[in-house]
Amino acid sequence: MAQPDVPEAAAEGALGLDMVLVDAARGPLRRMVPPAGTALRFGAALARQPGTLARRTGELARELSLITLGRSELAPGRKDKRFADPAWSGNPLLRRAMQTHLATARTTWELIEDADLDWQDDERIRFTATNLVDALAPSNVPVLNPLGWKALIDTGGKNVVQGLRRMATDLAAPPRVPSMVEPDAFTVGEDLAVTPGVVVFRTDVFELIRYRPTTDTVREVPLVIVPPTINKYYITDLAPGRSIVEHYLAAGQQVFMISWRNPDERHADWDLDTYGQALLDAMDAVEQSSGSERVALQAFCSGGIITAMVLAHLAAQGRQDRVSAASFAVTVLDWARAGTVSALMDEESVRAATERSRQKGYLDGAQLAEVFAWLRPNDLIWNYWVNNYLQGKPPPNFDILFWNADTTRMSAGLHRDFIDVALGNALTEAGAATMLGTPVDLSSVTVDTYVTAGIADHLCPWQACYRSTQLLGGESRFILSTSGHIASLVNPPGNPKSTFQVAGRTPADPEEWLAAARTEKGSWWPDFTAWLGDRCGGQVPAPTELGGALEVLGDAPGTYVFDK
């Protein structure tokens, strides 16, 4: 299916960090107010620089005078689509409104720079400022935005009725933000998640899908994909031509997929050990189905945290030879300065988060979607505010955004354990965390690893992903892809804009790695399949019976993917 022209930034921010570090229950208004201590330190830092404060105020006053007189040359950036309509520059009133907003925003960012706060306070103030500045943009005001007026004329006022109807629907239930995609835009099993395969194993926690080979011969060692524990697995199996699984099969790789169950209050006790045991159960099932005593693992986001801990568990038990290679995609194992999400953690939000999920038995994915949307308000809130409400138009159909809206819950036990591991940065210290009763020491993981990150990822900064190469004990190949959190993953060959960076070694300093890296054209997918092929044994005839020693329970995409 052809993909429409959708703002790339929306796709970048769609997934978000699926490990919960911020309280999703406090509401967006609370998140727009920085902690009192941060606000006081910001004010004190500026108060210590009265000359700087006076200079910035004077510069703003002079710019506002020029704007009033119509002499200001202030203009939006080329990529700022909020003011792309010619009316913003051609109409004197709209131009002045736009320039006033740009001048005020510029002064805001300059003052934050002048304050020179520590990284955590700086992130908190920028988060608050971003939300407030973006919300106050004149493009969000119905009586000012020319797109709304044009829609009013073109539709004879129907846009107002349609916009209000859409707003009422969106506000009726979480995540209470403008919809990024229509709920019926795609159908799982018909448009998405259509790669042929069968379910060969099922537990209360997951289903295991084995995909039908598309080549005459396959690599002896199968690949097991461990998806995130929030959202459905089919981020790896989107529309044909954009499916990671489809590409791996075409390269002659046997592929198995874990499809996590969508937990509810009955599964409140599922924790890291539950999911770690599930991965071991999946590996056992793969051996029964394929006959291979070894597997390769590729884990995404929070699935990577579980996978890393299970690898350490296997190493401690002397069973690491069960894994021939491992890959971690946009996965953070070291949370030191891991970006906005880490900066927004504090004791109050942690207590609220764990208590909320404990009472309900889970944390709702829709609440998480609200948090993540406010991390990129221009792209994920106000862009759709204008499109859906002011213009009364449906949002464009895009497979990634449909997948993102297909949220799942996180069990209370897993939510608690993820926060504990992150707050203590426990995976960076041997024995600070455990998996299935075994102390976790990531340096004992000596299998070769392939680590990927997105250069524009605002939720899992590439430098944080890079630090996994220093924690893990084996040889690592680090790939820095174009784009952000999601587009760096869904990056099929054929996109002329795609590139990735790679270097011959992984020094301790990520900036040193970047300075030595070379840029390769195209997608990292073929690079990964070549790397993986070197570690997955020789070629064997492709199996015709997918169950092996296991009973086939049904066709892909299985049943758990449809759980709401």
On whether the CB atoms of residues 372 and 10 are closer than 8 A, the answer is no
536 is catalytic: no
On whether the CB atoms of residues 183 and 534 are closer than 8 A, the answer is no
Q: Looking at the chain, how many residues does it have?
A: 564
On whether the CB atoms of residues 283 and 295 are closer than 8 A, the answer is yes
The number of beta carbons lying within 10 Å of the beta carbon of residue 555 is 12
Q: How far is CA 148 from CA 143, 159, 182, in A?
A: 8, 8, 20
Could you give the 3-state DSSP secondary structure of residue 343? helix
- Give one DSSP letter per residue of 106-166, joined into a string: HHHHHHHHHH---HHHHHHHHHHHHHHHHHT-GGG-TTT-HHHHHHHHHHTTHHHHHHHHH
The number of beta carbons lying within 10 Å of the beta carbon of residue 285 is 23
Burial (CB count within 10 angstroms: exposed 0-12, middle 13-18, buried 19+), residue 445: buried
On whether the CB atoms of residues 479 and 342 are closer than 8 A, the answer is no
Residue 198's H or E segment, with its range, is strand 197-202
- Tell me which DSSP letter residue 243 carries: -
As given in the structure block, the two tokens for residue 18 are 């699926």
The catalytic position among 301, 460, 465, 536 is 301
Could you give the 3-state DSSP secondary structure of residue 264? coil
Largest Cα separation within the chain, whole Å, is: 81
The string over 38-59, giving b where at least 16 C-beta atoms fall within 10 Å of a residue's C-beta and e elsewhere, is: beebbeebbeeeeeeeeebeee
Active site residues: 301
